[in-house]
Amino acid sequence: MVIREATEPEIRTVLGWTHALWGDNRPFEGYVERIAKQMATRWGRTGYHFAVGLVGGQPVTACKRYRLRFGGVPTVGFGAVFTPEEHRGKGHAAELISGVMAQERAPYALLYSDIDPLYYIRLGFQPYPAYWVTATAEAGPVPFRPLAPYERAEALAIQLPGEFRPDRSPDYWDYLHERSPVELYAFVPDGTIRGWVAFEQEEDQLWLAAAGYDAEPEQFWQGLRALTAQHGVPKINGWGPRVAADHGYAYEVVKSPVPMIAGENLPKAVTWWGLDHF
Ligand SMILES: CC(C)(COP(=O)(O)OP(=O)(O)OC[C@H]1O[C@@H](n2cnc3c(N)ncnc32)[C@H](O)[C@@H]1OP(=O)(O)O)[C@@H](O)C(=O)NCCC(=O)NCCS
């Protein structure tokens, strides 16, 4: 099987395969346009491509290929791994994943499994712990305010101790924002920026997309409950660290999609955030 970056017509073919599954009920052209917009962001132009496996010149399997970094270490990310039914069970997807890993020569690889993680365990990946956290709104002082664009680089560099997630350069952040239009707030418990939160206002809740802080967790998590009350919704929920459970949050282990990572000497993760999910 030949493995290489997909051409534009091949990307269209691949999106034709995956539209029913991952098109979010958009019409096909809308789906194609959405992906094209993400690929055209400054980060997307080098960070986001499709890889295809070809047999006899025809695509038989495909995936998205992301060029990420974890703590500065090059990491290849995989998304939307797909083989059309008539080509399944011949090892094409497995060959594509290991082929792209070899081509990228990245020490780490990352994906989010929608299927039984055993499939990826056989390819050398291991599941990482991830949690859904939920808290009810509680009125109180709100130590948050909207983050100004010029404060972004400084604020987003703040992360939880031991947190393991793709490095978020301002360009990568713009790409994430193109995909998911979150609001960014600064955590300012004492007048200075000690953290941040990204969330989406939904009808009946705030969706917690990602956050970072280097302050008392109690202050941060209580503050989020107050921010939720301020937004007039009964709860906040999303991916988060287990430590949130000590501060009034309920949590459950995420069963799908399961973050999985491959590589030598992997750091221990304390959490995953849904914002980087692909
Ligand atoms: C999963 C998928 C990419 C595998 O493609 P493939 O080229 O057939 O992969 P391989 O030949 O390397 O492996 C085949 C194995 O995939 C595994 N597999 C397929 N679907 C699976 C699922 N839903 N759960 C767990 N394992 C699955 C089976 O173990 C299968 O082995 P079998 O042939 O003995 O039944 C393909 O089934 C597909 O496109 N599925 C729909 C999209 C999808 O769910 N993608 C995964 C997103 S994380």
Average pLDDT over the chain reads 92
208 in Cβ contact with 239 (< 8 Å): yes
CB 147 within 8 A of CB 196: yes
In angstroms, what is the span from residue 80 Cα to ligand 1's centroid?
Answer: 12
Domain boundaries, the chain: 2-106, 131-253
| Rounded distance from Cα 78 to ligand 1 centre (Å) | 14
Q: What is the pTM of this model?
A: 0.91
What is the b/e burial string over 132-146, where b = at least 16 CB atoms within 10 angstroms of the residue's CB?
A: bbbbebeeeebbbee
Look up the CATH architecture of domain 2-106: 3-Layer(aba) Sandwich (3.40)
Whether residue 88 has its Cβ less than 6 Å from ligand 1? yes
Asked whether the predicted pLDDT for residue 66 surpasses 90, the reply is yes
Percent of the chain with pLDDT over 70: 97
CB of 81 sitting under 6 A from ligand 1: yes
Domains 2-106 and 131-253 share a fold: yes
Band the pLDDT of 270: cuts 50, 70, 90.
low
Query: What separation in Å is there between the alpha carbon of 3 and the centre of ligand 1?
Result: 18
Cβ atoms within 10 Å, residue 53: 24
Tell me what pLDDT residue 256 has. 87
State how far the Cα of 26 lies from the Cα of 31, in Å rounded to an integer: 6
Which ligand 1 atom sits nearest the alpha carbon of residue 82? 39
Ligand 1 atom closest to 21 (CA): 42
Class of domain 131-253: alpha beta
Q: Cα(8) to centroid of ligand 1, in Å?
A: 25
CA-nearest residue, atom 36 of ligand 1: 83
The protein residue with its alpha carbon nearest to ligand 1, atom 12, reads 91
**In sequence order, what are the residues at sequence separation of 6 or more whose Cβ sits closer than 8 angstroms to the Cβ of residue 17?**
62, 82, 84
Is the CB of 16 within 6 Å of ligand 1? Answer: no
Coil, helix or strand at residue 114: coil
The share of the chain scoring above pLDDT 90, in percent, equals 71
* CB 233, CB 202: distance < 8 Å: yes
Ligand 1 atom closest to residue 91's alpha carbon, by position in its atom list: 11
Residue 212 — φ and ψ, nearest 5°?
A: -155, 145
Model confidence at 161, pLDDT cuts 50, 70, 90, reads confident
pLDDT at 184: 93
